[in-house]
């Protein structure tokens, strides 16, 4: 009896309500894998994607059910906690997952790798992101980042008969693992300097029992920052991004570009603003330098690209630089602005990737810029979302990207980092060169009747029917078109009426109350 | 024994692993070097755990071992896939993606 009591007293307190979104995603991964064992077209084409959507929908519902404002609430002792930051960014992961199901539904990668395996891995990766968003401990941080990355390596290589897909998988594995090992060594040194693995204890120790100029601590912070920069594709650790984005199946690229970047920023926000906020004067200048390098390198690199996937990869590098500026500021306003920008980034990037996927499947130019030639007159339903996405990424007024950049710049100015705000503006100006080129190709090249030939890279996904015409393209893939239109509409809607998301971002800002408001 | 020696050794192993990843061309050797880098982190964690007298570092090291095993499994799987496609097993020859 006494031993039982002692065991009960030592067991960790688990808040099952708070952890339920994670259970929905991780349990969903297992159910999806099991259901995929059922043979037959119906199970593979309908049941498994439906279960994936169900798991993600359940996770969205449970996250909203758990929503509360204010400080974080521990759900598994000191390992995981939920607060508006974790819940709000988890919603972004789940929405990206839903969009990826639609994007991948007719893709070749799905047939090559098996429906259950593909969606099971995707749900596993999303579970890792959920853990990462609510990590309160160096150990859960590392587990989350690996649970996110390892399924993603397999998803990149899931088009197993295409050499570029395998190559991108191996490249991502090697470079991602170097990043993880660097991060691990940094975390080990931080543990060595402070003697704790919990974020709150580390923050308490820094400045009290540990000197701010302790070489062990500073080396640890530098190595951990480098490891996280690999994951968020921050320059000069970005070199893998264009290659991996180009080689991976495009639905996986869309998932990586949006969800992985959001997860990387979730952990960067949490790690630097919660565990290391006492050492802000030490890390802020270093991260500011990285942000400037990233904005310049990303925008200059994107200019010469002819592949849309590579162009979006470089643009993603540049956008990571803008968001890093929000982290550097280190105030509640900076946290709000970064979270807000991440949401905007989701809408505009998924709209752009939707168009790339729809065109890639029918055009002989694959994901090349030429595949968009004459799209304005051939299928305006695809040309408009792309136009909106490009204008929004460049930061045009009345689009979501403008409000996001405005918010980031005002946070930078407010936190006495005005020169970083200037850098964001300079970066946006540079970025017009390549974003406007895409729009010019779509609307200003004459329409050429495209013969339904076999594309150079991707095998034809949609069989041409008798009397095939360019106008028939969007109707052949209604799910991709639907997601693209929804995302483009959201980009415009939140560009004009941003207040609902402002309120959410304000809630997110309250999750770390120790920050200056 | 002083914890410094363990740290010097782990830093040396980490540097050796990093140098191997950068210079070796065979993907299997690259995977081995990645393992060296992760295990250097483990050694540092265990040394610090002993220095501070708490078990956090040891638990961390156990978790890292599991993760490292998963990573190698995935890496070997992709290498087998590449082998089946008869692509030369040389990381420098993997250069379809560039620009």
Taking CB atoms and an 8 Å limit, are B67 and A142 in contact across chains? Answer: yes
β-pairing verdict for A80-82 and A73-76: antiparallel
- Least confident piece of the model among A94-103, A225-234, A389-398, B90-99: B90-99
pLDDT value for A13: 84
Taking CB atoms and an 8 Å limit, are B63 and A164 in contact across chains? Answer: no
Residue B39 Cα to chain centre, angstroms: 6
Distance from CA of A191 to the nearest CA of B (A): 7
Contact list in A for residue B99 (CB cut-off 8 A) is 242, 246, 305-307, 310
For the record, the structure tokens of A513 come out as 């109350």
Residue A459 scores a pLDDT above 60: no
The residue assigned the tokens 């695809």 is: A382
- Separation of alpha carbons A337 and A341, rounded Å: 6
Contact A226, A181 (CB under 8 A): no
Taking CB atoms and an 8 Å limit, are A247 and B38 in contact across chains? Answer: no
Residue B7 scores a pLDDT above 70: yes
Residue A294 Cα to chain centre, angstroms: 17
Task: Report yes or no: B87 at the A interface, CB cutoff 8 Å.
Answer: yes
Task: Report yes or no: B88 at the A interface, CB cutoff 8 Å.
Answer: no
- Give me the residue from B37, B51, B99 closest to A181, CB to CB: B37
Contact A251, A119 (CB under 8 A): no
For chain A, the domain total comes to: 2
The answer on A380 and A320 residing in a single domain is yes
Q: Tell me the pLDDT tens digit for each residue of B55-68.
A: 899 999 999 999 99
Domain with A412, as residue range(s), is 278-517
Contact list in B for residue A182 (CB cut-off 8 A) is 37
Taking CB atoms and an 8 Å limit, are B74 and A196 in contact across chains? Answer: no
pLDDT value for A72: 78
The answer on A329 and A261 residing in a single domain is no
Distance from CA of B16 to the nearest CA of A (A): 13
- Separation of alpha carbons A223 and A233, rounded Å: 15
Residue A63 scores a pLDDT above 50: yes
Task: Report yes or no: A161 at the B interface, CB cutoff 8 Å.
Answer: yes
The answer on A300 and A257 residing in a single domain is no
Give the pLDDT band (50/70/90) at residue A3: low
- Separation of alpha carbons B33 and B37, rounded Å: 6
The answer on A494 and A451 residing in a single domain is yes
Residue A313 scores a pLDDT above 60: yes
pLDDT value for A291: 96
Q: Has residue A80 been placed in a domain?
A: yes
Give the pLDDT band (50/70/90) at residue A20: very high
Q: Tell me the pLDDT tens digit for each residue of B40-99.
A: 999 999 999 999 999 899 999 999 999 999 999 999 999 998 888 866 666 777 776 766
Neighbours of B99 (CB within 10 A): 10
| Domain B3-84 class, CATH top level | mainly alpha
* Percent of chain A at pLDDT exceeding 70: 92
- Separation of alpha carbons A299 and A426, rounded Å: 10
Which residue(s) pair with A81 in the sheet? A74
Tell me which residues of chain A, numbers 162 to 191, contact chain B at a CB-CB cutoff of 8 Å.
163-164, 166-171, 173-174, 177-178, 180-182, 184-185, 187-189, 191
Q: What is the DSSP letter of A470?
A: G
Taking CB atoms and an 8 Å limit, are A170 and B59 in contact across chains? Answer: no
The answer on A337 and A433 residing in a single domain is yes
Instruction: For chain B, give every domain's residue range.
Output: 3-84
CA distances from A468 to A364, A378, A465, A473 (A): 15, 12, 5, 9
Contact list in A for residue B45 (CB cut-off 8 A) is 188, 191
Q: Has residue A380 been placed in a domain?
A: yes
Give the pLDDT band (50/70/90) at residue A466: very low
In a 3-state reduction of DSSP, which class is residue A452? coil
If we measure between CA atoms, which residue out of A115, A86, A70 comes closest to residue A21? A86
- Decide which of A275, A292, A315 is a domain's last residue: A275
pLDDT value for A448: 63
Residue A464 scores a pLDDT above 60: no
Contact A428, A395 (CB under 8 A): yes
Q: Nearest residue of B to residue A224 by CA position?
A: B41
Residue A445 scores a pLDDT above 50: yes
What string of DSSP letters covers chain B? --HHHHHHHHHHHHHHHHHHHHH--SHHHHHHHHHHHHHHHHHHHHHHHHHHT-SHHHHHHHHHHHHHHHHHHHHHHHHHHHHHTT--S-GGG--SS--
If we measure between CA atoms, which residue out of A203, A341, A209 comes closest to residue A273? A203
CA distances from A267 to A198, A257, B79 (A): 14, 16, 30
Residue A97 Cα to chain centre, angstroms: 10
The answer on A74 and A55 residing in a single domain is yes
The answer on A365 and A258 residing in a single domain is no
Between A and B, how many residue pairs show a Cβ–Cβ distance under 8 A?
Answer: 135
pLDDT value for A471: 46
Neighbours of A443 (CB within 10 A): 15
Q: What is the DSSP letter of A198?
A: B
The answer on A517 and A506 residing in a single domain is yes
For the record, the structure tokens of A459 come out as 């095998």
pLDDT value for A515: 75
The answer on A345 and A265 residing in a single domain is no
Q: Which residue, among A77, A157, A185, would best test binding to B if mutated, counting the most B CBs under 10 Å from its CB?
A: A185
The answer on A369 and A257 residing in a single domain is no
* Torsion angle of the four alpha carbons A483, A485, A489, A490, in this order, in degrees rounded to the nearest 10: 10
For the record, the structure tokens of A120 come out as 């099971």
The answer on A367 and A338 residing in a single domain is yes
For the record, the structure tokens of A487 come out as 């995302």
At a CB cut-off of 8 Å and minimum separation 6, what does A204 contact?
A: none
Give the pLDDT band (50/70/90) at residue A43: confident
Give the pLDDT band (50/70/90) at residue A452: low
- Cis status of the peptide bond prior to A236, with omega within 30 of 0: yes
- Separation of alpha carbons B5 and B94, rounded Å: 39
Taking CB atoms and an 8 Å limit, are A181 and B38 in contact across chains? Answer: yes
Taking CB atoms and an 8 Å limit, are B60 and A188 in contact across chains? Answer: yes
Residue A71 scores a pLDDT above 80: no
pLDDT value for A113: 87
In a 3-state reduction of DSSP, which class is residue A453? coil
Mean pLDDT of A293-322: 94
pLDDT value for A451: 52
The answer on A293 and A255 residing in a single domain is no
At a CB cut-off of 8 Å and minimum separation 6, what does B10 contact?
A: B40, B41, B43, B44, B47
Give the pLDDT band (50/70/90) at residue A265: very high
Mean pLDDT of A62-72: 86
A6 vs A132: which has the higher pLDDT: A132
Residue A2 scores a pLDDT above 90: no
Q: Has residue A217 been placed in a domain?
A: no
The end-to-end CA distance of chain A, in Å, is 51
Q: Tell me the pLDDT tens digit for each residue of A468-506.
A: 444 445 556 889 999 999 999 999 999 999 999 999 998
Residue A11 scores a pLDDT above 50: yes
Task: Report yes or no: B39 at the A interface, CB cutoff 8 Å.
Answer: no
Give the pLDDT band (50/70/90) at residue A14: confident
């Amino acid at each position: 009896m006494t031993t039982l009591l002692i065991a009960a007293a030592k067991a960790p307190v688990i808040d099952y309500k708070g952890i339920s979104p994670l259970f929905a995603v991780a349990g969903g991964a297992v159910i999806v894998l099991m259901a995929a064992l059922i043979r037959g077209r119906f199970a593979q084409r309908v049941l498994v994607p439906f279960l994936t959507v169900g798991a993600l929908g359940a996770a969205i519902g449970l996250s909203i059910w758990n929503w509360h404002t204010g400080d974080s609430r521990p759900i598994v002792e000191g390992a995981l906690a939920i607060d508006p930051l974790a819940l709000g960014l988890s919603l972004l992961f789940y929405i990206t997952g839903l969009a990826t199901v639609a994007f991948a539904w007719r893709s070749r990668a799905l047939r090559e790798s098996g429906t259950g395996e593909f969606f099971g891995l995707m749900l596993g990766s999303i579970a890792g992101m959920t853990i990462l968003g609510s990590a309160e401990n160096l150990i859960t941080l590392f587990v989350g980042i690996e649970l996110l990355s390892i399924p993603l390596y397999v998803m990149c290589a899931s088009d197993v008969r295409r050499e570029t897909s395998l190559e991108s998988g191996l490249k991502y594995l090697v470079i991602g693992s170097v990043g993880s090992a660097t991060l691990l060594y940094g975390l080990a040194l931080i543990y060595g300097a402070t003697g704790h693995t919990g974020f709150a204890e580390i923050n308490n120790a820094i400045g009290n029992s540990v000197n701010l100029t302790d070489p062990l601590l500073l080396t640890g912070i530098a190595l951990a920052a480098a490891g996280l920069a690999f994951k968020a594709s921050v320059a000069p650790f970005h070199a893998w991004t264009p290659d991996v984005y180009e080689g991976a199946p495009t639905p996986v690229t869309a998932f990586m570009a949006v969800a992985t970047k959001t997860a990387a920023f979730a952990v960067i926000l949490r790690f630097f603003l919660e565990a290391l906020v006492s050492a802000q004067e030490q890390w802020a200048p270093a991260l500011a330098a990285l942000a400037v390098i990233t904005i310049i390198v990303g925008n200059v690199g994107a200019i010469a690209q002819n592949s849309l996937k590579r162009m979006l990869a470089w643009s993603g590098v540049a956008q990571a630089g803008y968001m890093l500026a929000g982290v550097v500021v280190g105030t509640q306003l900076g946290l709000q602005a970064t979270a807000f920008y991440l949401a905007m980034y989701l809408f505009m990037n998924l709209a752009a990737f939707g168009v790339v996927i729809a065109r890639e499947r029918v055009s002989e130019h694959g994901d090349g810029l030429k595949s968009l030639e004459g799209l304005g007159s051939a299928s305006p339903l695809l040309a408009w979302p792309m136009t909106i996405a490009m204008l929004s990424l460049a930061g045009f007024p009345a689009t979501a990207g403008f409000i996001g950049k405005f918010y980031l710049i005002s946070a930078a100015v407010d936190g006495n980092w005005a020169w970083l705000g200037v850098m964001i503006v300079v970066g946006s100006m540079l970025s017009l060169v390549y974003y406007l080129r895409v729009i010019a190709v779509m609307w200003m090249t004459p329409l050429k009747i495209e013969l339904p030939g076999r594309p150079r890279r991707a095998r034809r996904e949609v069989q041409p029917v008798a009397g095939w015409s360019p106008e028939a393209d969007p109707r052949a893939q209604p799910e991709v078109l639907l997601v693209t239109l929804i995302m483009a509409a959201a980009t415009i809607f939140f560009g004009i009426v941003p207040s609902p998301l402002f309120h959410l971002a304000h809630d997110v800002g309250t999750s770390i109350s120790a920050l200056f408001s | 024994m002083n914890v410094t020696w363990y740290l010097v050794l782990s830093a040396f192993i980490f540097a050796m692993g990093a140098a191997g990843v950068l210079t070796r061309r065979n993907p299997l050797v690259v995977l081995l070097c990645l393992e060296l880098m992760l295990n250097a982190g483990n050694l540092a964690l265990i040394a610090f755990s002993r220095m501070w007298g708490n078990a956090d570092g040891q638990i961390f090291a156990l978790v890292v071992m599991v993760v490292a095993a998963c990573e190698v499994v995935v890496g070997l799987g992709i290498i087998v896939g590449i082998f089946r496609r008869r692509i030369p097993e040389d990381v420098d020859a993997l250069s379809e993606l560039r620009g």
